[in-house]
Amino acid sequence: MDLERSPLALPFPEMPSIAGVVPRVARAGYKDWGRCDLTYVELAEGTAVAGVFTRNVCCSSEVELGREQVRAGRAHALVVNAGNSNAFTGYRGREAVEAIMTQVAEHLGCPQTEVFVSSTGVIGVPLPKDKARAGIAAALEADACSWEEAAATIGTTDTFPKGAIARAVIGDTTVTLSAIIKGSGMIAPDMATMLGYVFTDAAVEPAFLQRLLSEANERTFSCITVDSDTSTSDTVLAFATGKAGNAPLASFDDPGADAFAAALHDVCRQLAHLVVRDGEGARKFIEVAVTGAVSDESARKVGLAVANSPLVKTAIAGEDANWGRVVMAVGKAGEPADRDRLSIGFGGHWTARDGLPLADYDEAPVAEHLRGSEIAIAVDLGLGDGRATVWTCDLTHDYIAINADYRS
């Protein structure tokens, strides 16, 4: 199935190389598709690493091993396989990952635990060890590639390569973050999974990097949804080579830590938005801003209930200012809400306030807003100071076409 480039796609940004990071790609041939499908990124010795992983309890061996590996805090290489997720493959799948780790560790002369592996694609088929072995051998001898080539190679059903950059000043040193991601549904287990990687030349202690990544994740990747289905392989890793030469960041007391945290949050937000922009069948990018909740976490849950509602998402696809469906979704979230304090708006215009449709509601500017491709939904609960913003896309015929008409 050839997928058209998403109408919400953004051009790939100018992405600088990061000192201590060398990406390469090769053809392992995990599928019969005549394209590169193995990405190998070599990282300078001593690179700090942090990670966040899917909470799906049926996760892949890659995720299980990755969770253990980030605890040690150091990385020397990353391998990403596209075309086979290696999930639900039991001991044979785990052996395939360990074989990759051994092969790369022997080449680099580093501990096996410093080699990180991710896989994305079909479920239930053990990753073929021979193809992986030959693919890695080819990658080790390949020339360095561009970020755009690496971003394209980790993709599966993605319709455009996705990258983001940010910079921060630490003391008198400017550090750079270059990041890539793949994902097109939050998941389609035989086709897609969200995998994201942030590379920076900043010097950051692993424990602090983990804290910053976890915090950024809560307000970015954990605030997007395409179809409410959570992958068995979702992974975001951050690598900090330290080659920029700044005084290493270990806590928020260190000068520049706030700036670095902001830059990390910025690239994570950009990557999260890019995944939504490539959501399966997406024609509209939707932001749901929830205010007045009893807490930020409560606001996030209300926002996700709205963003996951198929009836809200089809209404937006139909350019219908159907605020009744938003009311319904708020009410089913299981969070504190009071029907008679609830306000709903689209594109900066309230349609209902304090539990009643607006008496002088003018539909024209709202209808105009809904004809666009960037949709803003506002929900004010009128209860407290909790707020959150979540992002999703509309639910269209193409989502059904991609997931029902296509046979794996």
Which residues does the annotation mark as catalytic? 193
Comparing C-alpha atoms, which of 394, 210, 383, 399 is closest to residue 320? 394
Window 45-74: contact mask with its own copies (x via CB under 8 A): ----------xxxxx---------------
Radius of gyration of the chain (CA): 22
Number of residues that bind its own copies (CB under 8 A): 66
- Binders of its own copies among residues 75 to 94 (CB under 8 A) are 87-90
Comparing C-alpha atoms, which of 106, 151, 131 is closest to residue 271? 151
Min dist. Cβ of residue 322 to its own copies (A)? 6
Using CB under 8 A as the binding rule, whether residue 309 contacts its own copies is answered as: yes
With CB under 8 A as the contact rule, the residue among 113, 174, 389, 403 that binds its own copies is 403
Window 317-336: contact mask with its own copies (x via CB under 8 A): xx-x-xxxx-xxxxxx---x
Q: Are 392 and 309 in contact (CB under 8 A)?
A: no
Burial 49-76 (b: 16+ CB within 10 A, else e): bbbbbbebeebbbbbebbeebbeebbbb
**Amino acid found at 49:** V
Min dist. Cβ of residue 369 to its own copies (A)? 16
Quote the strand ranges of 229-281, DSSP E: 235-240
User: In this structure, is the dihedral angle defined by the CA atoms of residues 10, 16, 21 and 23, taken in order, positive or negative?
Assistant: positive
**Which letter does DSSP use for residue 172 in this model?**
T
Using CB under 8 A as the binding rule, whether residue 188 contacts its own copies is answered as: yes
- In a 3-state reduction of DSSP, which class is residue 202? coil
Using CB under 8 A as the binding rule, whether residue 399 contacts its own copies is answered as: yes
Comparing C-alpha atoms, which of 377, 373, 390, 405 is closest to residue 6? 373
- Binders of its own copies among residues 146 to 175 (CB under 8 A) are none
Min dist. Cβ of residue 72 to its own copies (A)? 24
Tally of CB atoms within 10 A around 250: 15
Quote the strand ranges of 112-191, DSSP E: 115-122, 162-170, 173-188
Using CB under 8 A as the binding rule, whether residue 185 contacts its own copies is answered as: yes
Using CB under 8 A as the binding rule, whether residue 227 contacts its own copies is answered as: yes
With CB under 8 A as the contact rule, the residue among 173, 214, 230, 389 that binds its own copies is 230
91 or 172, CB closer to its own copies?
A: 91
Q: In this chain, which stretch among 106-114, 146-154, 183-191, 242-250 interacts with its own copies, using CB under 8 A?
A: 183-191
List interacting residues with its own copies (CB under 8 A).
Answer: 55-59, 87-90, 122-125, 185, 187-190, 227-232, 308-311, 314-315, 317-318, 320, 322-325, 327-332, 336-340, 342, 352, 355-357, 394-397, 399-401, 403-408
